């Protein structure tokens, strides 16, 4: 165990603990995550089929070792496990992990959920995973670059890491905070802090500093009013990156 202070913002964790019971309510606070999840899976599947030897395009992750960092209630972890991956899901929220464990039992998928930081997990299991996913988590930690470094340590050489987060733009303030939190109340007020949003250039810079090469980026467009969602070329609000470990 490291003597460094944990890269965890307890206030952020508390927000997710409070609403964890809603995690699998398709109409609740996590509705946007449920709606964009198929797009994330599509992006991840496409890149795995293209980049990882022996995986065809039939969406099968059979026997691959994957870790979902900041997995919450397990929306993405379950999708990856259903496609055949051996999935570890890590988070620092106790309630989100309890919900994730219970839901996996109900669904009949086997996932190894653990309460541990990415940094501690990287010390325990360096170079272990074929794929690392870290979705909508970096904007909630004190030091996102440290999580990126940990993800880079966790993945095998040549493996893939997927990051998604919110860009620091005026449009992301208008859509993700003003519209989604304050006006339409689709997600709880205070879920996001615009100062913690991350420009793609910044994220790619951190990734490169830690031995990763960004090989693709896509916007995840989500309209909080209509619920319409699609992958597109505009990274101005929500976006997802695919990086390869050199
Ligand atoms: N990745 C999931 C959940 C996103 S919500 C998805 O996209 O479906 C953000 C999650 O990050 C919450 O579950 C929260 O508990 C977790 N989190 C925040 N800070 C963390 C930290 N320092 N270490 C691990 N998990 C963290």
DSSP string, 75-93: HHHHHHHHTT-EEEEEES-
Q: What is the pLDDT of residue 3?
A: 62
Pick the residue whose CA is nearest to atom 8 on ligand 1: 75
Q: How confident is the model at residue 24 (pLDDT cuts 50, 70, 90)?
A: very high
Pick the residue whose CA is nearest to atom 4 on ligand 1: 136
Distances in whole angstroms, Cα of residue 12 to Cα of each of 29, 38, 142, 209, 245: 15, 25, 10, 26, 29
Classify 190 as helix, strand or coil. coil
By the 10 Å C-beta count (0-12 exposed, 13-18 middle, 19+ buried), 4 is classed as exposed
In 3D space, the residue among 146, 24, 120, 131 whose CA is nearest the CA of residue 88 turns out to be 131
Q: What is the pLDDT of residue 52?
A: 73
Q: Is the pLDDT of residue 56 over 80?
A: no
Q: What is the pLDDT of residue 60?
A: 79
Q: What is the pLDDT of residue 227?
A: 83
Residue with tokens 């995840």: 220
By the 10 Å C-beta count (0-12 exposed, 13-18 middle, 19+ buried), 82 is classed as middle
Q: How far is the CA of 220 from the centre of ligand 1 (A)?
A: 18
Q: How far is the CA of 140 from the centre of ligand 1 (A)?
A: 7
Strand partners, 231: 220
Distances in whole angstroms, Cα of residue 192 to Cα of each of 158, 216, 237: 33, 25, 13
153-211 tens-digit pLDDT: 999 999 999 999 999 999 999 999 999 999 999 999 999 999 999 999 999 999 999 99
97-144 tens-digit pLDDT: 999 999 999 999 999 999 999 999 999 999 999 999 999 999 999 999
The reported pTM is 0.97
Q: How far is the CA of 58 from the centre of ligand 1 (A)?
A: 29
220-244 tens-digit pLDDT: 998 878 889 999 999 999 999 999 9
Q: How far is the CA of 8 from the centre of ligand 1 (A)?
A: 10
Neighbours of 237 (CB within 10 A): 20
Q: How confident is the model at residue 51 (pLDDT cuts 50, 70, 90)?
A: confident
Residue list, ligand 1 pocket, CB within 6 Å: 7-8, 12-13, 16, 33, 70-72, 75-76, 91-93, 96, 117, 135-137, 140-141
Ligand 1 pocket mutation, candidates 66, 67, 92, 198, criterion most atoms within 8 A of CB: 92
Q: How far is the CA of 193 from the centre of ligand 1 (A)?
A: 14
Q: What is the pLDDT of residue 57?
A: 54
Q: How far is the CA of 141 from the centre of ligand 1 (A)?
A: 9
Q: Is the pLDDT of residue 63 over 60?
A: yes
Ligand 1 nearest-atom number relative to CA 117? 23
Listed in order, strand segments (DSSP E) in 11-128 are: 65-69, 86-91, 111-115
Distance in Å from the first CA to the final CA of the chain: 27
Contacts of 22 (CB under 8 A, 6+ apart): 28, 29, 30
Q: How far is the CA of 54 from the centre of ligand 1 (A)?
A: 31
For residues 172 and 236, the answer to whether their CB atoms sit within 8 Å is yes
Ligand 1 nearest-atom number relative to CA 33? 8
């Amino acid at each position: 165990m490291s003597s460094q202070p944990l890269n965890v913002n307890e206030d952020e964790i508390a927000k997710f603990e409070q609403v964890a019971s809603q995690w699998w309510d398709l109409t609740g606070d996590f509705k946007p995550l449920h709606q964009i999840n198929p797009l994330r899976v599509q992006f991840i599947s496409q890149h795995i089929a293209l980049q990882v030897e022996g995986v065809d395009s039939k969406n099968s992750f059979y026997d691959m070792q994957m870790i979902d960092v900041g997995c919450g209630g397990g929306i993405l972890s379950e999708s990856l496990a259903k496609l055949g991956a051996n999935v570890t899901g890590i988070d620092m929220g106790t309630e989100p992990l309890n919900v994730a464990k219970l839901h996996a039992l109900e669904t009949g998928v086997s996932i190894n959920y653990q309460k541990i930081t990415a940094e501690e997990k990287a010390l325990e299991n360096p170079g272990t995973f074929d794929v690392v996913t870290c979705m909508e988590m970096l904007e909630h930690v004190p030091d996102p670059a440290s999580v990126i470094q940990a993800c880079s340590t966790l993945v095998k050489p040549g493996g893939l890491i997927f990051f998604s987060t919110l860009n620091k733009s005026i449009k992301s303030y208008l859509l993700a905070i003003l519209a989604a939190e304050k006006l339409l109340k689709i997600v709880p007020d205070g879920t996001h802090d615009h100062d913690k949003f991350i420009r793609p250039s910044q994220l790619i810079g951190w990734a490169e500093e830690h031995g990763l090469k960004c090989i693709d980026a896509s916007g995840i467009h989500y309209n909080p009013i209509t619920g319409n969602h699609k992958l597109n070329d505009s990274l101005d609000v929500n976006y997802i990156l695919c990086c390869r470990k050199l």
